[in-house]
Amino acid sequence: MEDKIKKVSIIISKGSLIDVYPGLIMANGARMEGIEANLFFTFFGMDAIIKKRMAKIKVATVGNPGMHMASLIGILPGMSAMATAMMLKTMDKLGFPPVPEYIEMIADAGGKLYACKATVDMFKLKKEDFCPQVESIITVGGFYEMAAGGQIIFT
């Protein structure tokens, strides 16, 4: 019990719903345990904090063996939307909020959210493109400084 985790810095690097949720669940769960939590969004994971995209994150139905569905079926129009709707419904029943509400909840819980500078430059984004919960745009060096003394989790 003496070796309790005090701080986690979680990187969310992929942009499907299945990729985004685990990082959010872990960050919020950390705050629930009194653990300091930082979230660093990079590459397509950044969709979770982009105002225009955060409510539209989808389940990928192609190239995901965990779906137990042939990719050929996954490419049909509407499959991803249907899988997304089903998943969001199930998550809601279990008490997990949709992405925008989750982001707000984590920020209210004291979790800190950051956007990756390299990705911001690559996609030509501006601070105004992000939801207000995002503290700042930081470099990878800034991330390591912020993560110092804690655990880093890459998702």
Partner 1 sequence: MPQKQIGNATIDVDADGFMTNLSQWTRDIAAALAKEEGIGELTAAHWKVLEYIQKEFKENGAVPTIRRINKTGLVSTKELYDLFPGGPAKKAEKIAGLAKPVGCV
- Least Å distance, CB 24 to partner 1, is 10
96 versus 114: smaller Cβ distance to partner 1: 96
- Least Å distance, CB 36 to partner 1, is 11
Binding site for partner 1 (CB under 8 A): 25, 28-29, 31-34, 94-97, 101, 105, 108-110
User: What secondary structure, in 3-state letters, does 10-71 show?
Assistant: EEECCCCHHHHHHHHHHHHHHHHCCCEEEEEECHHHHHHHECCCHHHCCCCCCCCHHHCCCH
Tell me how far apart the alpha carbons of residues 80 and 60 are, in angstroms, rounded to a whole number: 6
Q: 13 with 45: CB under 8 angstroms?
A: yes
72 versus 94: smaller Cβ distance to partner 1: 94
97 versus 100: smaller Cβ distance to partner 1: 97
Query: By C-alpha distance, which of 64, 60, 65, 66 is closest to 47?
Result: 60
Upper half-sphere CA count for residue 96 (Cβ side, 13 Å): 18
73 versus 109: smaller Cβ distance to partner 1: 109
- Least Å distance, CB 29 to partner 1, is 6
- Least Å distance, CB 128 to partner 1, is 24
108 versus 121: smaller Cβ distance to partner 1: 108
Q: 147 with 27: CB under 8 angstroms?
A: no
- Least Å distance, CB 101 to partner 1, is 8
